[in-house]
Amino acid sequence: MNRHPLRHPISAGLVLIAAAMAACSAAPSTDGRPTPPDGRGSTTPASSSSSSPTVGLPAGFPVLPGAVRDQLQATDEPAVIARWSSDQVGPVVYDFYLGALPEAGYQTTGIFPGGAVAVILFETPPGESWELALTQDDGGTRIEVRLAQP
Residue 51 has pLDDT above 70, yes or no: no
Q: Which domains does the chain have, with CATH numbers?
A: 9-24+41-47+54-147 (3.30.310)
Amino acid of residue 86: S
pLDDT digits (tens, 9 = 90+) for 62-76: 999 999 999 998 888
Mean pLDDT of 92-104: 96
pLDDT above 60 for 47: no
Q: Name residue 28's amino acid.
A: P
Please give the residue that has the higher pLDDT: either 131 or 26.
131
